[in-house]
């Protein structure tokens, strides 16, 4: 052990903290981090909602997300988008993007519902132990991943460029482009929409009731199965939207196991903000996006982003497992 450690230290430079580089690029790192964070937050909401209602980590949610990403790529290629920037009017592009978004949302929602029916419902009917849910979800996650693998192969889908980002704002030397603005605003609007939906509507009240006490909620006439399906549906819809933004941001990132790392990061975001808490998912997502990006600039390699996120996950769980905002979907007041 000792000689291993010393050999690495003698080799020296495998880890170095480049603070100057980070501070020089603080502005872009923050903006880009927020953009990724918005995507994490949208996916994180799927984890949070299911956790709030069923008290389970939906391990297959990352595959719900990647199915949406495949739908985006297929739709856009079908519409004629390719690796080069299309020469279309902004309105035409916006129309195409909305079409792709709708396709992704439908596909993701369908996959989410399928996972619920196949991997969760039969276990619920049999009153299985908690570990069984996790293992069957892992099974579902693997099955979906390798369906894509066998269908599309081990290479990433060819890149699809939607539009060339144009700088819009300049805040103290930091340029904010149209793409970043679109993603963050759209994500925040969606999150606020879901938050209000859970707080104000009848179905939202049902979700909160089941989260608080499933048995009593059932006695009070809440249809638990319907609520659970609604939860998976909302999570799937948001994952579909996140998939569009992800393809926008990482055009060549659609690969059969591409959902895995993003899923872990989204889960970390959910835990960071307080799993089961919708506003926590937004906060955790944005924070984690920034932390990961700072880590990348500080340590100088994109691969470090993932390591930083995992370390953040461990630290959060150790120090404050309840997350920043605390975890309770049930305590949300209307």
Partner 1 sequence: MSMGQAPMGGAVEAQEHQDEQLEQARKPKLLAGVQEKWNGLERWQQWLVLAVVAIIVFFLPVINPPIITTEPGTDFPLACFDMARFALAALGLSVVVGQAGLLDLGYVGFFAVGSYVAALWTSTDSTMVHIPYLWTLPLAMVVTVVFGVLLGIPTLRLRGDYLAIVTLGFGEIIRLLASIVPALRGNVGFQNIGAPPGTHDGKQIFDNSNGTPWYMLTVAIIIVVMLLLGNLERSRVGRAWIAIREDEDAAETMGVPTFKFKLWAFGTGAAIGGLSGAIFAGQVGFVNNQKFDVATSMLFLAAVVLGGSGNKFGAVIGGAVVSYIPNRFIDIAPYKYLVFGVILIVLMIFRPQGLLGVRNHLLGAIGRLRQWVGSAPTATAGGRAATVDLPEKGDLS
Residue 201 CB neighbour total at 10 angstroms: 12
Task: Using only the alpha carbons of the chain, give its radius of gyration.
Answer: 21
Residue that is written with structure tokens 């035409």 in the block: 92
Query: From the list 25, 28, 94, 149, which residue makes contact with partner 1 (rule: CB under 8 A)?
Result: 149
Q: Residue 80 and residue 86: Cα distance in Å, rounded?
A: 9
Is residue 145 within the footprint of partner 1 (CB under 8 A)? Answer: yes
Cβ proximity to partner 1, 29 vs 271, nearer residue: 271
Residue 138 found at the interface with partner 1 (CB under 8 A): yes
Out of 8, 92, 192, 220, point to the residue binding partner 1 (CB under 8 A). 8
Using CB under 8 A as the binding rule, whether residue 1 contacts partner 1 is answered as yes
C-alpha dist (Å) from residue 8 to 1, 3, 5, 273, 299: 11, 9, 5, 36, 16
CA gap 75, 169 in Å, rounded: 31
Q: How many residues bind partner 1 (CB under 8 A)?
A: 54
Nearer to partner 1, 234 or 308 (CB): 308
DSSP state at residue 12: -
Judged by CB under 8 A, the residue of 186, 310, 328, 330 near partner 1 is 310
Binding mask 50-89 for partner 1 (x = CB under 8 A): ------xx--------------------------------
Nearer to partner 1, 59 or 245 (CB): 59
Query: In 10 A of CB 8, how many CB atoms?
Result: 11
Residue 158 within binding range of partner 1, rule CB under 8 A: no
Q: Provide the minimum distance between the beta carbon of 3 and partner 1 in the complex, in angstroms, as a whole number.
A: 7
Which residue number, 81 or 297, has a Cβ lying nearer to partner 1?
297
Angle formed by the axes of helices 26-54 and 61-78, nearest 10°:
120
Q: What distance in Å separates the CA atoms of residue 261 and residue 257, rounded to the nearest whole number? A: 8
Output the six-digit token pair for 9.
């230290």
Exposure b/e, 291-305, CB count within 10 A at least 16 = b: bbbbbbbbbeeeebb
Q: Rule CB under 8 A: choose which of 146, 166, 168, 201 binds partner 1.
A: 146
* Piece in contact with partner 1 (CB under 8 A), picked from 20-28, 104-112, 206-214, 253-261: 253-261
Nearer to partner 1, 82 or 321 (CB): 321
Q: Using CB under 8 A, which of 90, 129, 172, 221 touches partner 1?
A: 129
Q: Which residues touch 94 (CB under 8 Å, ≥6 apart)?
A: none
Q: Which two tokens stand for residue 131?
A: 């570990």
Complex with partner 1: residue 75 or 268, whichever CB lies closer: 268
Cβ nearer to partner 1, comparing 137 with 241 = 137
Residues 87-126 binding partner 1 (CB under 8 A) are 118-119, 122-123, 126
**Residue from 55, 53, 334, 57 nearest 207 by CA:** 53
Q: Is 134 in the site for partner 1 (CB under 8 A)?
A: yes
Distances (CA, A) of 276 to 177, 295, 300: 32, 27, 34
Q: Is 142 in the site for partner 1 (CB under 8 A)?
A: yes
Distance CA 199, CA 208 (A): 8
Q: Which residues of the shown chain bind partner 1 in the complex (CB under 8 A)?
A: 1, 3-4, 7-8, 11, 13-14, 56-57, 118-119, 122-123, 126, 128-136, 138-147, 149-150, 257, 260-261, 264, 267, 271, 301, 303-304, 306-307, 310-311, 313-314, 317-318, 321
């Amino acid at each position: 052990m000792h000689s291993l450690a010393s050999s690495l230290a003698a080799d020296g430079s495998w880890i170095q903290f480049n603070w100057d580089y980070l501070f020089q690029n603080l502005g872009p790192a923050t903006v880009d981090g927020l953009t990724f964070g918005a995507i994490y937050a949208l996916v994180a909401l799927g984890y949070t909602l299911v956790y709030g209602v069923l008290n389970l980590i939906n391990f297959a949610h990352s595959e719900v997300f990647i199915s949406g990403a495949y739908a985006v790529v297929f739709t856009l290629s079908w519409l004629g988008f390719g690796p080069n920037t299309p020469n279309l009017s902004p309105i035409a592009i916006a129309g195409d993007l909305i079409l792709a978004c709708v396709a992704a949302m439908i596909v993701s929602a369908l996959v989410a519902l399928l996972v619920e029916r196949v991997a969760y419902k039969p276990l619920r009917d049999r009153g299985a132990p908690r570990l069984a849910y996790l293992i069957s979800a892992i099974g579902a996650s693997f099955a979906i991943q390798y369906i894509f693998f066998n269908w599309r192969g081990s290479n990433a889908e060819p890149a699809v460029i939607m539009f060339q980002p144009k700088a819009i704002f300049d805040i103290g030397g930091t340029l904010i482009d149209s793409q970043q603005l679109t993603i963050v605003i759209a994500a925040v609007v969606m999150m606020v929409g879901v938050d209000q939906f859970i707080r104000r509507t009848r179905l939202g009240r049902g979700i909160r009731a089941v989260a608080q006490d499933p048995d009593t909620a059932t006695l009070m006439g809440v249809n638990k199965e319907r609520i659970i399906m609604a939860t998976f549906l909302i999570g799937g819809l948001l994952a579909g939207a996140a998939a569009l933004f992800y393809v926008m941001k990482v055009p060549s990132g659609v690969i059969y196991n591409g959902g895995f790392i993003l899923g872990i990061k989204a889960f970390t975001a959910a835990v960071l903000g307080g799993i089961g808490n919708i506003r926590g998912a937004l906060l955790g997502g944005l924070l984690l996006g920034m932390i990961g990006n700072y880590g990348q600039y500080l340590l100088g390699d994109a691969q470090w982003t993932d390591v930083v996120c995992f370390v953040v996950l461990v630290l959060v769980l150790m120090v404050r497992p309840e997350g920043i905002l605390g975890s309770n979907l049930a305590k949300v007041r209307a």
